[in-house]
Structure 1
């Protein structure tokens, strides 16, 4: 039973900000394909659901390459998709960046190949396999200290791939990657408007409602799999917001750990509390948010601000409590 409850939490929760981002990304891919290639940056703090969004869009848009059945069989591409997903490694250099893109399209890079050879293989593989969209997660690794290639060097690889193949390149990662786009005018002019998937702000009534609705949908999925609940929903959603800072992806992660901890079919606030504390570092204050006293509204606002600022994002105060929380941050 625990396995069934855990499994249903892998279903996408189609909350409002997710749906807006998904619609924009689907439209951007369509525009890019008509323009014979472009880049799209999917930006957001960690655990906001970017990876899940990429997987869902791949399922919706990915098709078998438009190749003859004989060529598909010969290339081992039967049932393959023209929409592939990869991930950029930490501290990338030219070779590891190109190797990651090659592996995304299903080609293993040789350890002794030069960057020039890897470029040629990548270009050939994209064309041969009929790849139309490549999504690269963790693109912000290119903007971190310790990356073994210049900012210009990283973005030039992306610009080159678009120009050579006409592929749509979806780059997903932390907001810090925006700086690399802005600093390379050639990639910037090949990149469509940035798509943002951000956490919900508790001080915004509609956002708070959307976060609560996402929690409710997750519970409904668990209930359909046989789960039962013994807690006050209104109280628990506030505590969970405090720990997650409004991130639905983080909310689901806590519930997944809770599902693994369930020894019966009943989910309790104690199980969720223990899961949140075990899953998070002390800086997220899970112990405080699940303490005896209910958290104050300003604590929830501070949690959201912490997530945004940690991702390098500015927060514009829209109320007095926002301003007070910002001054204390």
Structure 2
């Protein structure tokens, strides 16, 4: 039974990309046993397209089970740390398998212990989220040592491997010939495109599903009307993660205000509170502002598709004094030699 404050998070709305992702994951899990080599697959997409939710859905279907002889963990699921190393990733996996000595040991010792625990825990699949951290954007280098270790780990453990991440994670696989040879074709989880009729209809159907679940506790405007649906699209850039994020904020605000009504003004406030400022199109009123034009122009749609895309790193020019200081510092080092 949904409670009002969790009604958005507990509304699972399968759509084409989500269903394909979960189906492919289930297939990999089902055929992991007895495969001649590890089955590997990647979920790739922009932030907030539902990759982690797809992993969670599969993980929940095969959740750990307490048996008389211990805990069975069919799926070992971890999130890649920033700048991963073999020791840090192995430690996360050991902790996920409840190893009391997860923090201790050399790289080889942790790996040996991890393989033993994976076998004892009945692990059939390893899931690694945020796989793009295997690629250092600053140096444009792949963490080859960790990637090689992961390949050997799944080979030795004879388990399936699922990775999920931003599009940059493909470089990790592309630049490792042996790893690439083990991966099936990736599952892409794109944002919804308003200009694609099928995707637009699917996005509107998702709005309808949220309206149905939220409507059990709140009086709402019609989410699926042409104008209102376009406002939702412009507010989220077609990203499901942003949609759930700001609908959740609208629900929280209504609960705190002790009201069961969520109207356009409430959606306007929730959107402004839930979405980071840079992620909205600049120079335009909020999509839930009555002044907002709901004409789907090419210029507007192009700007909306930029929502959620990280801003390019800004490199500020150094001052003349700083440049001179730097030059003097270098000269001093050379002179000292």
**Superposed pair shares fold, TM > 0.5:** yes
Distance (Å, rounded) in 2 between the aligned partners of 1:299 and 1:234 = 19
Q: Which has the higher contact order (CA 8 A, sep 6+)?
A: 1
- Structure-2 change in CA distance of 1:112 and 1:62 (3 Å): closer
Distance (Å, rounded) in 2 between the aligned partners of 1:14 and 1:219 = 15
Match runs of 1:138-149 below 5 Å: 138-145=130-137
Distance (Å, rounded) in 2 between the aligned partners of 1:144 and 1:14 = 33
Give the deviation of 1:212 after TM superposition.
0.9
Does the CA-based 8 Å contact 1:243-1:303 persist in structure 2? no
- Of stretches 128-137 and 19-28 in structure 1, the one that deviates more from structure 2 is 19-28
TM-score normalised by structure 1 residue count = 0.82
Does the CA-based 8 Å contact 1:25-1:195 persist in structure 2? no
The answer to whether residue 262 in structure 2 is matched with residue 271 in structure 1 is no
Partner of 1:12: 12
Any idea what the Cα deviations from partners look like across 1:270-308, whole Å, max 9, x if unmatched? Answer: 222211111222222274433312244225532453258
Distance (Å, rounded) in 2 between the aligned partners of 1:108 and 1:235 = 56
Give the deviation of 1:74 after TM superposition.
4.3
Give the deviation of 1:34 after TM superposition.
4.1
Distance (Å, rounded) in 2 between the aligned partners of 1:284 and 1:296 = 20
Distance (Å, rounded) in 2 between the aligned partners of 1:184 and 1:100 = 23
Partner of 2:306: 306
Partner of 2:287: 289
Partner of 2:56: 55
Does the CA-based 8 Å contact 1:28-1:192 persist in structure 2? no
- Structure-2 change in CA distance of 1:187 and 1:208 (3 Å): same
Does the CA-based 8 Å contact 1:241-1:300 persist in structure 2? no
Any idea what the Cα deviations from partners look like across 1:16-64, whole Å, max 9, x if unmatched? Answer: 2211222222223334444252221111111111111111112334574
Partner of 1:30: 30
Give the deviation of 1:177 after TM superposition.
0.6
The answer to whether residue 192 in structure 2 is matched with residue 200 in structure 1 is yes
Any idea what the Cα deviations from partners look like across 1:120-156, whole Å, max 9, x if unmatched? Answer: 1111110111111121111111113369x95211211
Distance (Å, rounded) in 2 between the aligned partners of 1:32 and 1:178 = 22
The answer to whether residue 205 in structure 2 is matched with residue 213 in structure 1 is yes
Distance (Å, rounded) in 1 between the aligned partners of 2:171 and 2:307 = 19
Does the CA-based 8 Å contact 1:38-1:167 persist in structure 2? yes
Unaligned runs of 5+ in 1: 66-71, 313-329
Larger-gyration structure (1/2):
2
Distance (Å, rounded) in 1 between the aligned partners of 2:113 and 2:137 = 29
Match runs of 1:116-127 below 5 Å: 116-127=108-119
Distance (Å, rounded) in 1 between the aligned partners of 2:33 and 2:183 = 13
- Structure-2 change in CA distance of 1:249 and 1:109 (3 Å): farther
Distance (Å, rounded) in 2 between the aligned partners of 1:145 and 1:95 = 21
How many residues matched?
A: 300
Any idea what the Cα deviations from partners look like across 1:195-221, whole Å, max 9, x if unmatched? Answer: 111111111011111111111101101
Match runs of 1:1-329 below 5 Å: 4-10=3-9, 11-35=11-35, 36-62=37-63, 64=65, 72-75=67-70, 77=71, 80-145=72-137, 150-224=142-216, 226-230=217-221, 233-262=225-254, 263=257, 264-285=259-280, 287-291=285-289, 292-297=291-296, 298-299=298-299, 301-303=301-303, 305-307=305-307, 310=310
TM-score normalised by structure 2 residue count = 0.80
Does the CA-based 8 Å contact 2:231-2:287 persist in structure 1? yes
Does the CA-based 8 Å contact 1:229-1:266 persist in structure 2? yes
Does the CA-based 8 Å contact 2:28-2:160 persist in structure 1? no
- Structure-2 change in CA distance of 1:37 and 1:257 (3 Å): same
The alignment partner of 1:85 has SS state of: strand
Any idea what the Cα deviations from partners look like across 1:144-193, whole Å, max 9, x if unmatched? Answer: 3369x952112112201111101111111111111110110111111121
